[in-house]
Amino acid sequence: MASKTRSRILLAGAILAAMTVGVITGIRLSPGPVGAGRAPSLRASHQPLAADEDRGTLQLALQTQDPPAPRGSSSRFPAQSSSGMFSFADVAERVTPAVVTVFSEKSFEGEENFFHRFLRPRDDAPRIQGHGSGFIIDSEGIVVTNNHVVDGAEELTVRLKDGREFTAEIVGRDPGTDVAVLRIDASGLPTLRLGNSDGIRVGDWVVAIGSPFRSVLEHTVTVGIISAKGRGNVGLADYEEFLQTDAAINPGNSGGPLVNLEGKVVGINTAIATRNGGNQGVSFAIPITFASSIIDRLLRDGKVTRAWLGVTIRDVTPELARDLGLARPEGVEIFQVHDGGPADRAGLREGDVVMAMDGAATERVAGFRNRVSLSRPGQTVELDILRDGRNRTVEAELGELTEEILAEVRGQAPQPPQAPEVLREDELGFELAEITPDMLMRYDLNPSLEGVVVVRVERNSLADEAGLEIGDVIRSVNRRRVQSLQEFEEIVDRLPSDRALDLRIKRGSRSLTIRLDRPS
């Protein structure tokens, strides 16, 4: 059962060394290997060459022309083929010539196998090879991909659809958004036009193209819809506002295009949420409208300079919205004003709620943070705020976010309350969390209690029918004491799949036992 409760978010690539994956908020995860773990001379789909093992978590006005629209095509429906059936073939034929495979290579820095060390020539240092995807946006050899595809690479090669290969150089890359721009020495290349991801709607068709798993599978075409927009706090980059799609994106697709049915790029394929390392219908792409500003700056300056307001912010919760008299949660609350920063000079205070910036409504932290960061340092912005129940307008001149400021802010900023780590039992219909000071206050628990607390019970689920309630503290499972989520999971994993769970519960001052029969 436990295997069904674990989810992972992976960058849409792989590396030849095993790596650790992290947490999607609300689901408890465990470390797991990604990649084949074979000899480093083999080629595999690419994850960042400098993988994030140290962090333990995994954290993208161009000279292009519109190709002629195929007959019968539109932005909402696939074209009708000669057989009378709807088909995506016109889009695929139009787009794939401008999609490339990006090969990367670097020296192997880990410990070598005994036989590899003594059987290879002395001057033949072991190498790690990987690959990802990309797409051409300028006929003179400009290629867009993900930063994690090229990060740490000592050699880069781009292979075109027609089989030609070119050595590539990095024009610029931005780890903050996971976008990179490459240049190859070629001309007269097919290109893709960048679309408007702001205008795409949930439910619109999209097509993903790339090189999943192995380079021999390059230019694989998959189809799906936009499942959601504005996904933030995924933990893949510093600045996130992903498109979510169910189009199949797999390791090696990183950096490839997500296009609409007009063949225009609406996203850069980047990552997947998965329980088994492969596609499970939850994939993420960087919106191209957001990425295009990054691309322009990388082409112009080779780097991205960001603006800074000087605040720590968090989303407005339903409880805060109710206290403020708002009809729904909207805006972002200022959690901290950094001394001497732009916000401090403008007179902003802790507890202010920013409702709009330059007339555009502020919905959530991710969108507001991205808008500020992509503004010009020195630019004056107009902020509509809610303070003490009154609407006010404040003007603030944005500063430049330097590495020194970033290091200082990260060192002094208090962390907003984090969502608790949660173990979800999908088949039984409940969620558990460990007992923290926040849980003690939320459910009025005795501080001496040991166990795990029930934080959600799905209506009409097996847990609901058995009488499990939110706030119950599970102290033992089948007479084995439980003190953490890991212990709960380990006990359940060791039980036969048809064995019922006998849960010893503390509910207020009462102790009781609840029997949960598991589905066969």
Q: What angle do CA 333, 387, 310 make, to 5 degrees?
A: 45
Q: Which amino acid is at 309?
A: L
Nearest in space to 443 (alpha carbons), one of 459, 432, 454, 451: 454
Nearest in space to 194 (alpha carbons), one of 95, 102, 306, 71: 95
The structure tokens listed for 10 are: 């992976």
CA–CA dist 328, 322 (Å, integer): 8
CA–CA dist 368, 278 (Å, integer): 32
Instruction: Look at the alpha carbons of 171, 174, 175, 180 in this order and tell me if their dihedral is positive or negative.
Output: negative
**Catalytic residue at 338?**
no
- Let me know if 167 is exposed, middle or buried by CB neighbors in 10 A (0-12, 13-18, 19+): exposed
The structure tokens listed for 379 are: 């630019």
Residue 423's alpha-carbon distances to 27, 87, 388, 494, in angstroms, are: 6, 42, 38, 17
* Residues facing 517 on adjacent strands: none
Q: Evaluate whether 61 touches 300 at the Cβ level (below 8 Å).
A: no
CA–CA dist 98, 162 (Å, integer): 10
- Let me know if 280 is exposed, middle or buried by CB neighbors in 10 A (0-12, 13-18, 19+): middle
Nearest in space to 320 (alpha carbons), one of 308, 328, 311: 328
> Which is the catalytic residue, given 52, 104, 131, 148?
148
**How many CB atoms sit inside 10 A of residue 61's CB?**
8
**Catalytic residue at 197?**
no
> Which is the catalytic residue, given 254, 292, 373, 476?
254
Query: Is residue 118 within a helix (H) or strand (E), and if so which, with residue range?
Result: helix 114-119
- Radius of gyration in angstroms for the set of CA atoms belonging to the chain, rounded to a whole number: 26
Nearest in space to 262 (alpha carbons), one of 411, 68, 127: 68
CA–CA dist 73, 80 (Å, integer): 8
> Which is the catalytic residue, given 178, 315, 352, 472?
178
**Catalytic residue at 438?**
no
The structure tokens listed for 482 are: 């439980």
Q: Evaluate whether 409 touches 338 at the Cβ level (below 8 Å).
A: yes
Residues serving a catalytic function are 148, 178, 254
